[in-house]
Amino acid sequence: WSSPFIHLLTLTVVTFSVLAPLICHRLLHSYFYLRRWHLNSMSQEFLEQNQQEGQAALHYFENLQIPNASDTSGSDSSQPLLLITIITVQRQNDFHYVLQVASHFHRLLQKCGARCQSHRILLCNVEPDPSSHQDVRLLSSFFPTISRDKAGENPDPRENHFEKEKQDYVFCLEQSLLVYNPEYVLMVEDDAVPEEEIFAVLQHLLLARFSKPHLRDALYFKLYHPERLQRYFNPEPMRILEWLGLGMFLGPVLACVYSRAAGRAGLSWPLVVFFALYSMALSELVGRHYLLELRRLAP
């Protein structure tokens, strides 16, 4: 039992066969997630929670005082620093997705205070029959609204879903620039509920990160990437470099911890390489998404 080979083999077997599956079997974006056990129950819980949040968002706007007509007409002559354009289509009424997104942004803007006075919200209704979108009819009393009216057009059967989404984005972006001419436009889908710290993050991104020479001329940046596509094992070169960097950092650290615990003097390259590969494999199997979430612990 004093052999390093036995120690490392035992650590590998216990980690990947016992501990990680026990800890991560409920983590949706982990390789250890037991879909057969948890998917149906988690889906039901999510739908119930979503329905409750949709009703809460509906009550939020029903109880909110309607502002002056000039505040919702888009006639404000001041140029916004940031225009939040919410792209929406008619969905299942019970969930009120666009109401959830709009209520969160409205509440966070109120909470943000003076730092966000130059931010505006715009609704972009891309439903083929705009008048059928009931949630937008409610929100039009609170926010300026533009619509892409295609009710009189014959839909092209050759146009796929992704092409329609692309055209909707182009329309909403063009109208956002035309109506407000903002410094920045944040394009948001109507099911993308913002995190509590979104405006602090945006302020840091716009004022600090974009001031750097290599980002100064950036045309756009992406705030969200689907969790299922966030893994390290990915063709993106920077993702691979990040993964290697994680191994290069944790390899020596874990090797040092092991050497101290085992009473061994100094580090050996095989030991460092083992722990580098060990940490890289563990981070990929547990899920890069959850490692990225650790960044929220820092202000």
Q: What is the pLDDT of residue 271?
A: 94
pLDDT, averaged across the chain? 86
Q: What is the pLDDT of residue 79?
A: 84
More confident residue, 297 or 299: 297
Q: What is the DSSP string of 145-209?
A: EEE---TTSPP-TT--HHHHHHHHHHHHHHHHHHHH--SEEEEEETT-PPPTTHHHHHHHHHHTG
Where does a domain end: 179, 206, 227? 227
Q: How many residues does the chain have?
A: 299
- Kindly tell me if the per-residue pLDDT of 216 is higher than 80: no
Residues 222 and 234 in one domain: no
CATH of the domain at 181: 3.90.550.10
Residues 141 and 218 in one domain: yes
Residues 277 and 201 in one domain: no
Residues 90 and 180 in one domain: yes
- Kindly tell me if the per-residue pLDDT of 76 is higher than 60: no
More confident residue, 157 or 225: 225
Residues 81 and 222 in one domain: yes
The total number of structural domains that make up the chain: 2
Whole-model pTM?
0.81
Q: What is the pLDDT of residue 297?
A: 73
Q: Is 269 a domain residue?
A: yes
Where does a domain end: 210, 227, 244? 227
Q: What is the pLDDT of residue 158?
A: 66
Residues 84 and 151 in one domain: yes
Q: Is 110 a domain residue?
A: yes
Q: Is 48 a domain residue?
A: no
Q: Where are the beta strands (DSSP E) in the chain?
A: 82-88, 119-125, 145-147, 184-189
| Neighbouring C-beta atoms of residue 240, cutoff 10 Å | 13
Residues 176 and 212 in one domain: yes
Q: Is 54 a domain residue?
A: no
Q: Is 40 a domain residue?
A: no
Residues 103 and 244 in one domain: no
- Kindly tell me if the per-residue pLDDT of 59 is higher than 80: yes
Q: Is 50 a domain residue?
A: no
Structure tokens at 265: 């003097």
Give the β-pairing of 119-125 and 82-88.
parallel
Mean pLDDT of all residues in 190-216: 84
Mean pLDDT of all residues in 115-127: 92
Q: Is 256 a domain residue?
A: yes
Helix (H), strand (E) at residue 129: none
Domain that residue 16 falls in: 4-29+230-297
More confident residue, 253 or 223: 253
- Which residues are within 8 A (CB) of 182 and not within 5 positions of it... i.e. 6 or more apart? 79, 80, 81, 82, 83, 120, 176
Q: Tell me how far apart the alpha carbons of residues 93 and 55 are, in angstroms, rounded to a whole number.
A: 10
Where does a domain end: 227, 256, 285? 227
Q: Tell me how far apart the alpha carbons of residues 214 and 133 are, in angstroms, rounded to a whole number.
A: 42
Residues 17 and 112 in one domain: no
Q: Is 34 a domain residue?
A: no
Residues 67 and 177 in one domain: yes
